């Protein structure tokens, strides 16, 4: 067994001198928020994913909020989504005063099950908010067909999915290109590239893009950059209720450096993911993530479902005792105290479900994925010997009778 003494975390952002230099450049420049660096980051990001517009904001949660507002989600509306996601997905719906309608996932992809969407649509449905969970693209083709049939906008929670690709229109296309109506990205350190915190909205709709720009800066009619450069005095006005969802230029400058590294980061993650696949294939009962022929994940997380007899907590503790961080499967919002029974529904208009606080018979795949899966460390700087050690430790933990 390989000798790795140091702790192996679940993730480490891949940053260094270029990011530090970029941040310093901005600090010394005298313009530190939503200025030229943000504008350049937006352009470069839009070009990378192949979208007409990209608008930078403070994080992905605020991006999701603005996306839902743009497509017209209002109090009393319903938005179809998954419970099995980071809680920000469902929270963004509630910020609009709307109700999340939770649909179950497919057990292999951990993404929304397209077959269950149609039954969750009611007269109050205003949008479909899908997630590319852990960077694995969800099955957009049938989802978009259902949405078009019902004339519903599709918002993509692509928090984890920068660099992921789907095969549509006979070519490989990046997530963030206009597949749905709006895609939302995160630059939290747990994602594939980071700006500390940060988010991005991409769309092909110029009106929505303009709307995002107003909303993110208090609904102010004149951007700072315009007022600053004006030769004549300009008074701004506030035609609508806005927010402070700005990204700073310090973050954007870091983001531009991260974007340059992205292809190399995604290549490395794909290599390490493939290595996990090969080396864990012989662990009895372990279910490995699968990539459909029409998708290429960026492997933001590598999620395995433990053998049935293995106890999730005990396996995770054994890994931690050996100096390896893991995380349990993706959370389910409907099991959290913040999601009291009256704050969400589980779709299925024809037969009301007997939802209990913390459990729902329509969301069993979601609950099982949370309880049976664990996420393994995967980061750009991870060495092959560190990965071998994770593999060996997981095998020992799963095969040990004390842990089963």
Ligand X SMILES: *Cc1c(COP(=O)(O)O)cnc(C)c1O
Note the residues at the interface with ligand X (CB under 6 A): 59-61, 85-86, 88-89, 131, 157, 159-160, 186, 188, 199
Q: How far is the CB of 92 from ligand X (least distance, A)?
A: 8
Q: How far is the CB of 170 from ligand X (least distance, A)?
A: 28
Q: Which is nearer to ligand X, 159 or 360 (CB)?
A: 159
**Token representation of residue 293:** 């022929």
Q: How many CB atoms lie within 10 A of CB 95?
A: 16
Q: How far is the CB of 365 from ligand X (least distance, A)?
A: 17
- CA of 37: how far to CAs of 23, 200, 368, in Å? 10, 14, 44
- CA of 277: how far to CAs of 134, 148, 288, in Å? 16, 36, 7
> Helix or strand or coil: residue 257?
helix
- Are the CB atoms for 99 and 78 separated by under 8 Å? yes
Show the DSSP H helices in 191-244 as ranges.
Answer: 206-216, 224-229
| Separation CA 190–CA 379 (nearest Å) | 10
Q: Which is nearer to ligand X, 262 or 404 (CB)?
A: 262
Which residues fall within 8 angstroms of residue 392, CB to CB, at 6 or more apart?
A: 1, 2
Q: Which is nearer to ligand X, 378 or 403 (CB)?
A: 378
Question: What burial letters (b/e) apply to 12-50, b meaning 16+ CB within 10 Å?
Answer: ebbbeeebeebbeebeeeeebbbbebbeebbeebbebbe
Q: How far is the CB of 297 from ligand X (least distance, A)?
A: 14
Q: How far is the CB of 232 from ligand X (least distance, A)?
A: 39
Q: How far is the CB of 344 from ligand X (least distance, A)?
A: 16
- CA of 136: how far to CAs of 104, 151, 273, 370, in Å? 16, 26, 12, 16
| Separation CA 359–CA 83 (nearest Å) | 11
Q: Which is nearer to ligand X, 8 or 159 (CB)?
A: 159
Q: Which is nearer to ligand X, 14 or 159 (CB)?
A: 159
Q: Which is nearer to ligand X, 65 or 256 (CB)?
A: 65
Q: How far is the CB of 78 from ligand X (least distance, A)?
A: 19
Q: Which is nearer to ligand X, 245 or 389 (CB)?
A: 245
């Amino acid at each position: 067994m390989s000798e790795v003494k140091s702790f192996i975390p679940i993730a480490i952002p891949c940053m260094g001198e270029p990011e530090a230099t970029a941040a310093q450049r901005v600090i010394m420049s005298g313009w530190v928020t939503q200025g030229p660096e943000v504008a350049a980051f937006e352009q470069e990001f839009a070009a990378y994913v192949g979208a007409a517009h990209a608008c930078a904001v403070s994080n992905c949660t605020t991006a999701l909020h603005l996306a839902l507002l743009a497509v017209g989600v209002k109090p009393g509306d319903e938005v179809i989504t998954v419970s099995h996601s980071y809680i920000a997905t469902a929270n963004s719906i509630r910020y609009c005063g709307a109700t999340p309608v939770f649909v179950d996932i497919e057990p292999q992809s951990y993404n929304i099950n397209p077959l269950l969407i149609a039954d969750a649509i009611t007269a109050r449905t205003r949008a479909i908010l899908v997630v590319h969970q852990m960077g694995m693209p969800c099955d957009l083709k049938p989802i978009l067909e259902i949405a078009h049939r019902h004339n519903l906008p599709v918002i993509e929670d692509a928090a984890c999915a920068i660099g992921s690709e789907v095969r549509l229109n006979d070519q490989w296309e990046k997530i963030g290109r206009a597949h749905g109506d709006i895609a939302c990205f995160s630059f939290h350190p747990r994602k594939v590239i980071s700006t500390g915190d940060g988010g991005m909205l991409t769309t092909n709709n110029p009106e929505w893009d303009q709307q995002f720009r107003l909303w993110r800066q208090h609904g102010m009619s004149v951007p700072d950059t315009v007022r600053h450069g004006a030769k004549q005095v300009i008074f701004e006005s506030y035609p609508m209720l806005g927010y402070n969802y700005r990204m700073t230029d310090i973050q954007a400058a870091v983001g531009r450096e991260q974007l340059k590294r992205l292809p190399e980061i995604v290549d490395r993650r794909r290599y390490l993911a493939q290595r996990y696949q090969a080396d864990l294939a012989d662990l009895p009962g372990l279910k490995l993530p699968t990539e459909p022929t029409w998708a290429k994940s960026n492997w933001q997380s590598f999620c395995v479902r433990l053998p049935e007899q293995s106890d999730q907590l005990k396996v995770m503790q054994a890994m931690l005792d050996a100096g390896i961080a893991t995380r349990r499967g993706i959370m389910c919002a409907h099991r959290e105290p913040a999601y009291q029974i009256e704050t969400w529904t589980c779709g299925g208009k024809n037969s009301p479900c007997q939802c209990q606080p913390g459990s729902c018979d329509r969301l069993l795949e979601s609950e099982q994925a949370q309880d049976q899966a664990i996420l393994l460390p995967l980061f750009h700087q991870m060495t092959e010997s560190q990965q071998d050690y994770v593999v060996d430790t997981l095998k020992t933990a799963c095969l040990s009778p004390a842990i089963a």
